[in-house]
Each structure stands twice: as C-alpha cells, then as structure tokens.
Structure 1
Amino acid sequence: MSNQNTVAQTESAPWARYADLKDKVVVITGGASGIGFSMAQAFAYNGAKLALVDIDANALAKARDTLLGEYPQMAVAVYTCAVNDQAGVQNVFAQVQNSWGRVDVLLNNAGISMNTPTLELSGDDWRRAMDINVNGVFYCAQEAARCMVEQKQGVILNMSSMYGVVAAPQRAAYCASKAAVAMLTKVLANEWGEHGLRVNAIAPGYVRTALVDDLVARGRMDLDALTARTPSRRLGTPEEIAALAIFMASEQAAFMNGHVAVADGGWSAYSYI
C-alpha cells in the first residue's frame, strides 16, 4: 500500500484522508444524526458522494444543509425511508444507481435500542427490534450487493454492537439482534467475497451521542458508572467510530473481510468482579 494514501489527522478534521474514497458512492442508513452523521462527515471529508437514508425528513434536511455548508461542492442526496420497508429500500437503491450509476459503500447503520426486563418484553417490541436491526440490515445489504456484484467490487459495513459479542441483562432483543448482524456479516462475506465484495461489521461500545447525553440528563443512564466500568475510563465518540468506518471502507483494509471490529474501550475484554 502506498503511504501517500493517507495524511495525518488535523485538529479541524479528526480523520485520516484516504485517496481511494474520493468520488465513491456511499449509502448511509440512519445517516441524519449520531454516529451515522459523523460517518457522513468523515466520508464527505474524503470526497465521497453521499446518499443519506433516514426516517426523519427534517433531520435529513438539516444534515444535508450542514454537509453542504462544510463542503459546498460535494454531492449529497437524502432519502426518507425506513430500513425495514423492503420495497422502500429497493426504491432508494434504484434511485441511487439511476443517479450515480453505482454503489461503492454501504454503511448499514440504522437501528434501535431495546432495554427491557425479559419477562416484560412484549412480542411487538421483540419483533420490532428484529425487524429494524436484522431485517433492515439484510434488505439494505441485499440491494447494495445486487449493484456491487455487477461492478465486481464494493464494501458493506454493518453496525453490530459490543452487545452482539457479549451479553447483558434486560437486553434480550437487542443482544440477539446485534449478534444476528455479526453472524449475517460473516455469512455474506463468505458468500460474496468471490464477487469482489468485502462485508465487515463495526461493534461499538458506549458512545457519547446526543441520545446518551439526553438519557444522562434525565437520570436514565449513569455516566459515572459506565465510565468506571470501561477500562479506557471514558465513552467513545462518534468521530472515533467514523474514523474506523473510513479505514475499513478504504483500500488500506483490502484484506479485511468477515470481521467484526469491536470498538468499546475494552468493555468486552473486562471480566473482573
């Protein structure tokens, strides 16, 4: 690999630059806020063309305006769609391919949390977690792969979780759904690798997002306890997950396939009581 492919991170842009990501067509689900939007910023910094997919039309419009304010010449399109709507997903990818002729990277980021005592977990909530976190990932990966197999190249990054690798109480639906994403990732990597595709997953731990800040402010989450339990003694940042995403999508990670990359500050490695 050429060492000219990346440049050092700067204070104003906390990401490396990967020359091979320039002009790549990147689809990001859940791209209007949180980790998804940080990934959008990181790929925009690298000169990619972005298709942001989210259920929140207002947040999408704000995200597009923010990106264009930072990178006025960039190409960015937004699509209001729920990832568990298979017909809607098919329509989004058809529009992306019609507009730009290809799909190079899919960031399968959209998902929901589910923190409920298992004896109180309703069938509707169980099915909702599976429908969005698993079915949504599958629908988007399948549509992206239809484009990528024709191109004989492409990268799919699925968002699992450290709770798809280790278990926790009161998270039966969430842990099961994210473990399913991790295994689906490995199956697709095995099946589609011969067509030039790479399929990997990112498994974040606790990340400091606006949602987390809101839960802390409302007393629903104990930030001090989470920090103390994490060996790195802090939560992650959306920018750090985005940095991992652009690396895994770049040619610097060309031989990485079927891998679940855990970024949790050491949480899942910690077993001392």
Structure 2
Amino acid sequence: MTFSMDSFRLDGKVALVTGGIYGIGFGIAQALSEAGATIVYNSVTEASVAEGAENYKNAGIDAKGYVFDVTDEEAVIKAVKQIEEEVGTIDILVNNAGIIKRTPMLEMSVEDFRQVIDIDLNGPFIMSKAVLPGMIEKGSGKIINICSMMSELGRETVSAYAAAKGGLKMLTKNICSEFGEHNIQCNGIGPGYIATPQTAPLREEGHPFNDFIIAKTPAARWGTVEDLQGSAVFLSSQASDFVNGHILYVDGGILAYIGKQP
C-alpha cells in the first residue's frame, strides 16, 4: 500500500477522552478533533462537564459530554451504550482521567493508596473492557493509555501513582496481546513534565523543582500540551496500525539521560 498523509486523518471516528475537560486530556481532544474525529468526553459532575462544554465551545469544537465515574463499572457500561446510541461506536478511547497524591509512603493511608489505584489503573481497565466489544465487532479500534515517566521511574512521595502507572504500562501490553488479532491497537503516551496550570507554581523561576526539571531534561525546558498532540493523533490513526503495546514517552529526553555532572 502506498503511503498517504491521509492515513493520519480521523474523519468519521468517534473519540472518547476520559476527564478531557482541561489540561492534557483537553489538548489531546483538540488535536483529535482537528484531525477529523468527533469528540466525546466525561467527568464526574454536571458542573465539570458543563465547564468542559464551555472550553470546547470556546475552541470551536462540537463535543458531547457525559457524567460518569470511570471507577463505576455499571455507570461506565450504561454511558458507553448511550454514547454508541447517540454518537456512534467508540473508535478511539483515551484513558486520560487520573489523580496523584503526593504523600510520603509512611504517611499515606491505605484508603488514599487505593483511591489512586482505583482511578489511575482500575478506571482504564473498566473503560477498556466496556469499549472493546464494540471495537471487536467493528474490526478495529485504538486505545491510548496516558502513562507517565513513573511507569518506569520511582520518586519520593508518589508510591501509589507510580504503582498505578507501572501497572497501566503492563495493562497496555496485555490489551495488545489479547486483542491485537482483532485489529485493535493499545498503546500508551508517557508525558514528561508538562506545563499546565496545575504545575505553574512549580515552574516559577528559581523554584528548586523547576531548576531540577530543567537540569534533568536534555531539551532544557518543560513540555507543553502541544508536544503531546502529534503523538496522540499518530496513535489514534491508521498510520499506527502496526504499532501495538508500545509506550511512547514524550519527555524531552529525560528517560535517556543520567543528568549533568555536578
């Protein structure tokens, strides 16, 4: 087959981005929309779904929001069925919803640990399980799990997050292993340190963490949401049909780098 740039197009595809109301999820949704996909997103409250609707409207994107919790299997199954009836079969699932609790391990409650695992690992399992039957029936599908450098590395205060994101890396590989024969590709994106409103306080000039990240990144800067968009379009498109079980780290080179000599 002759290569065509059209293989990156997503026209006629339905993309569900969990938690896609702002930040990385919203940026990925913007890129998928630009490539031609119809965008569906969710959040856990009516208010946050309405916030997302306003963000999409301001970006000129006609997106449809649904209220459900990715950890509630019954609610997820009901919502996926509703999306299939109202919008169409989900062709692309981006498991973006997640939380982090920065707490030293000896101070972290078991309840908090379980909550992080539930949202960051069980949630993608529940979501993937819900959309896979439709993808199998259609004979194609893309699942993108938003992993992390903590899928590979440890760091103080993020034991639950690292455990969840390490598990998500292996869930990605296992979905590939089980469903690749159905022309379903499951890959991950592992963002580096990304400039978002949530990280703004850490990025102030002179902040020790900002200096640490700049020194550890060969690109010598924080990433942007825009840095993730091309990867998301690629992994959602026909151009990646033979890419499966892979984690694409978009980290400015951090994982390749031991750091500067003091």
- TM-score > 0.5 by shorter chain: yes
CA RMSD of aligned residues (A): 1.9
Distance in 1, matches of 2:232 and 2:29, equals 10
Displacement of 1:220: 8.7
1:11 maps to which residue? none
Distance in 2, matches of 1:127 and 1:268, equals 27
1:15 maps to which residue? none
Displacement of 1:216: 4.8
Displacement of 1:59: 3.6
Cα 1:23–1:151, aligned 2, differ >3 Å: closer, same or farther? same
Tell me, yes or no, if structure 1 residue 135 matches structure 2 residue 122.
yes
Post-superposition Cα deviations, 1:36-65, rounded to whole Å, max 9, x if no partner, equal 000111111122111111124334323323
1:152 maps to which residue? 139
Q: What percentage of residue pairs aligned between the two structures are identical?
A: 34
Give the alignment partner of residue 262 of structure 1, picking from 224, 230, 249.
249
Cα 1:58–1:242, aligned 2, differ >3 Å: closer, same or farther? farther
Tell me, yes or no, if structure 1 residue 48 matches structure 2 residue 49.
no
Secondary structure, in 3 states, of the residue corresponding to 1:246? helix
Secondary structure, in 3 states, of the residue corresponding to 1:240? helix
Distance in 1, matches of 2:124 and 2:81, equals 17
Letter in 2 for 1:119: L
Superposition TM-score, scaled by structure 1 size: 0.88
For the Cα contact (< 8 Å) 1:32–1:56, is it kept in 2? no
Aligned pair count?
A: 258
Counting only pairs closer than 5 Å after superposition, residues 1-273 of structure 1 correspond to structure 2 as 1-5=2-6, 18-19=8-9, 21-71=10-60, 74=62, 76-216=63-203, 222-272=209-259
Distance in 2, matches of 1:3 and 1:95, equals 34
For the Cα contact (< 8 Å) 2:202–2:210, is it kept in 1? no
For the Cα contact (< 8 Å) 1:206–1:264, is it kept in 2? yes
Specify every segment of 5 or more residues in structure 2 that has no aligned partner in the other structure, as ranges. Answer: none
Letter in 2 for 1:103: I
Secondary structure, in 3 states, of the residue corresponding to 1:222? helix
Superposition TM-score, scaled by structure 2 size: 0.92
Distance in 2, matches of 1:175 and 1:30, equals 20
Secondary structure, in 3 states, of the residue corresponding to 1:134? helix
